[in-house]
């Protein structure tokens, strides 16, 4: 029998994760948890079971998929609920993602790799990482916990992406670049040099965003 799984976050990514779960018949999507919706309301055809804090009092084994794109917010939510050892966070690798040498690719819990992603070899991926549609991840890349890679990103070999980094859709990161803790890379950027922690870079070549 399929195991019930609940999606944390009922926005656009939550809807896409609901679609992703169609490829995993061992799980049955059974509802959302989200602070923005009223308990009992219907979202994307499923019930909202309450806000995220309610997950703290769950006393039986419960599977969750965290569908939050913003890395900082994702980490905050997980910090809030992680103390409840009844909560389990499976890893999902869509059947249409390609891992060229899977025994040389380490992947942490709660990580999601969506359709069309291609990963080569000697790659290390932490917990709660999102690798979104059609992204490519080269050799010896490290993706630390809570990183979100948006659709169509290309990471060349030996790129290091530190914790809680967001890489916007269609960005390219050149060989050997390190992207520092909580940095953001804008959509369409070409990153040729290291990015400092907390910095936002945009453009070609990517430069710090000055507001």
Ligand X SMILES: CC(C)(COP(=O)(O)OP(=O)(O)OC[C@H]1O[C@@H](n2cnc3c(N)ncnc32)[C@H](O)[C@@H]1OP(=O)(O)O)[C@@H](O)C(=O)NCCC(=O)NCCS
By CB under 6 A, residue 192 contacts ligand X = no
List the interface residues with ligand X, window 143-162 (CB under 6 A).
Answer: 150-151
By CB under 6 A, residue 74 contacts ligand X = no
Q: Where are the alpha helices (DSSP H) in the chain?
A: 12-21, 71-81
Q: Contact region for ligand X (CB under 6 A) — 40-48, 101-109, 122-130, 200-208?
A: 200-208
CA atoms within 13 A on the CB side of 159: 26
Token pair listed for 100: 């060229």
The residue (of 111 and 132) whose beta carbon lies closer to ligand X is: 132
* Sign of torsion over alpha carbons 64, 168, 191, 119: positive
Q: Please, what is the minimum distance in Å from the beta carbon of residue 168 to ligand X?
A: 3
The residue (of 31 and 188) whose beta carbon lies closer to ligand X is: 188
By CB under 6 A, residue 168 contacts ligand X = yes
> Binding residue for ligand X (CB under 6 A) from 11, 116, 157, 188?
188
* CA separation for the pair 92, 83 (Å, rounded): 22
- Which of 117, 56, 60 is closest to 92 using CA atoms? 117
Query: How far from each other are the two terminal CA atoms of the chain, in whole angstroms?
Result: 53
Q: Contact region for ligand X (CB under 6 A) — 58-66, 75-83, 85-93, 196-204?
A: 196-204
Token pair listed for 137: 């991840």
By CB under 6 A, residue 205 contacts ligand X = no
> Binding residue for ligand X (CB under 6 A) from 82, 91, 187, 192?
187
**Burial level of 148, CB count in 10 A (0-12/13-18/19+)?**
buried
By CB under 6 A, residue 209 contacts ligand X = yes
The residue (of 163 and 184) whose beta carbon lies closer to ligand X is: 184
Q: Contact region for ligand X (CB under 6 A) — 58-66, 74-82, 121-129, 183-191?
A: 183-191
Q: Please, what is the minimum distance in Å from the beta carbon of residue 150 to ligand X?
A: 4
165: CB partners within 8 A, 6+ apart: 71, 144, 147, 148, 179, 180, 181, 182, 183, 184, 185
Task: Enumerate binding residues for ligand X (CB under 6 A).
Answer: 150-151, 168-169, 184, 186-188, 200, 202-203, 209, 211
């Amino acid at each position: 029998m399929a195991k019930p799984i609940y999606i944390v976050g009922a926005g656009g990514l939550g809807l896409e994760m609901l679609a992703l779960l169609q490829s995993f018949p061992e799980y049955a999507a059974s509802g959302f948890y989200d602070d923005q919706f009223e308990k009992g309301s219907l979202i994307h055809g499923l019930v909202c079971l309450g806000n995220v804090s309610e997950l703290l009092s769950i006393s039986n084994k419960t599977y969750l998929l965290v569908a939050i794109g913003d890395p900082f917010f994702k980490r905050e939510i997980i910090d809030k609920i992680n103390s409840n050892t009844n909560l389990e966070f499976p890893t999902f690798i869509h059947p249409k993602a390609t891992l060229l040498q899977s025994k040389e690719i380490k992947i942490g819990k709660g990580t999601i790799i969506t359709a069309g992603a291609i990963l080569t070899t000697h790659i290390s991926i932490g917990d709660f990482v999102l690798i979104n549609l059609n992204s490519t991840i080269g050799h010896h890349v490290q993706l630390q916990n809570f990183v979100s890679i948006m659709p169509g990103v290309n990471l060349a070999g030996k790129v290091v992406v530190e914790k809680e980094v967001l890489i916007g859709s269609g960005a390219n990161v050149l060989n050997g670049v390190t992207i520092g803790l909580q940095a953001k890379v804008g959509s369409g950027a070409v990153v040729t040099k290291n990015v400092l922690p907390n910095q936002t870079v945009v453009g070609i070549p990517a430069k710090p965003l000055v507001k």
